[in-house]
Amino acid sequence: MMGENGVLLQLKRVSQQYGSGERRFTAVEDVNLTLGEGEFVALLGPSGCGKSTLLRIITGLQAATSGEILYRQRPLRGVNPYATIVFQTFALFPWLTVLENVAIALKVKGVPADLRATRAIDALDRVGLDGFENAYPRELSGGMRQKVGFARAIVTEPELLCLDEPFSALDVLSAETLRGELLELWTGGQIPTKAILMVSHNIEEAVFMADRIVVMDKNPGRIIANLPVNLPHPRQRKAVEFQNVVDQVYATLAGQTQPEYLELGTAPGEPGRTRRLPQVAIPDLAALLEYLSDLPGNRTDIYRLADELNLNSDTLLSLVETAELLGFATIARGDITLTSLGETFAEASILARKEIFATCIRRLPIFKWLLAMLRAAERRQLDWNVVQTALELEFPPQEAEAQMDTMVNWGRYAEILAYNDDNTMLYLESGATSSN
Ligand code: ADP
Ligand code: MG
């Protein structure tokens, strides 16, 4: 793939401890990572697994407790002059104009004053902000402010661009637009950047953008998998190959520890038994996952949960079953333990949760079946009754209706299905995140 000269960055057995005395703990343990020229790598993992810590170490904003950090084969000392970082919410100076906010990065680097404005204007052009040079941050939308952040990062022409969840504070549409624009800059060679390292907690975002996905787990923070994404750009989110990679990343995050008895079942109409979906409300599921994510080791005895969450035992068992079915938790010897995926969900923003949830339910055979039927249907819509009749070949009528209810509730939450009460039609959501 890449020659020895093509290696930009190497982390060798990097560990980071925080705190002192009894509170000392290992946040990142024994991380080995190589980044080559031309690579776009995504770092994926639950909150607290040390993703931001690694970026700070790589950019030289903090020194690791142990291990080696080599940049172009040379040990890194102090701030890395070849790297810049873009944060989730970019701290712009409110009293400076857009142009000044970008130019200041050049001032810090010692670029002479007469060159700064020209280069800042050029960087703003490249992110599509020409005409906004004299605006103030408060006059811009969230997406535009983040673009100023990108402009400030690329104006110094860093070899290595580090992005820490750069889209997660934006609304769905702005995030998707900005993702596309960044990819265009990158794949079109319009920025001199040699490599990108992006932290994400969004599986589809990582598969959409990166050439390789590095999956981390926590306690202690470490790398558990390195998954290549061999798909040409522009990538089609709905393509089978795309979904296969998503499934693979998903399985890694869900721990691949789903027990063998956990049968996903077959699709309706196929040989074998269709697994019925437990009937749960998403807020209850979210509450369970949040509760578990606050416990030491992210686990507890199942019997304790009913009391602690104030639920009756039927509801609780349905919730536990759902958490396991979707890969959010594992069950063993009466204990429930959150997986990395469950942890990621519990800590994610509302929008990221929807995206994670969509990924989870798309793998269920009964959902695949419904989505395939809708895709094949005229105008991608079907009458509720048609679907229910089909389901009645598998389930008693009442159960078929309950299954429909669950699928519609879950599908609506994930923004992959929509239902119109007036004409009882079910249709595929053509939302921003699933439009390509
Ligand atoms: P991530 O970005 O994956 O959410 P972080 O790198 O922010 O993870 O944090 C990893 C762990 O280290 C967390 O438990 C966090 O609370 C802890 N941590 C991060 N920064 C510090 C710090 N400066 N001092 C003490 N603990 C920290
Ligand atoms: Mg972080």
Q: Read off the pTM.
A: 0.73
Q: Nearest residue CA, atom 22 of ligand 1?
A: 18
Q: What is the predicted pLDDT for the residue at 91?
A: 80
User: How many A from CA of 61 to the centre of ligand 1?
Assistant: 14
- What is the SS3 assignment for 398? helix
391, 404 contact by CB (below 8 A): yes
β-pairing verdict for 25-36 and 7-18: antiparallel
Distance CA 294, CA 338 (A): 10
Which residue type does 79 have?
V
Nearest CA owner, ligand 1 atom 14: 48
pLDDT of residue 348: 86
Ligand 1 centre and the CA of 48: distance in Å?
6
| 19 Cα nearest atom in ligand 1 | 25
What separation in Å is there between the alpha carbon of 52 and the centre of ligand 2?
Answer: 4
Q: Which ligand sits nearest to residue 29's alpha carbon?
A: 1
Q: Hey, is 234 helix, strand or coil?
A: coil
Q: How far apart are CA 377 and CA 371, in angstroms?
A: 10
Each residue's pLDDT tens digit, 147-159: 899 899 889 999 9
Q: Which atom of ligand 1 is nearest to the CA of 53?
A: 6
Rounded distance, CA 38 to CA 36, Å? 6
Q: Name residues of the chain where pLDDT drops below 70.
A: 1-5, 90, 255-265, 271, 430-436
* Closest CA to ligand 1's atom 25: 18
Kindly give the distance from the C-alpha atom of residue 117 to the centroid of ligand 1, in angstroms, as a whole number. 37
Which residue, chain included where needed, has tokens 């080696």? 68
Residues with CB under 6 Å of ligand 1 are: 18-19, 27, 47-53, 221
Tell me the per-residue pLDDT of 23-48, one tens digit each, with 9 for 90 and over: 999 999 999 999 999 999 999 988 78
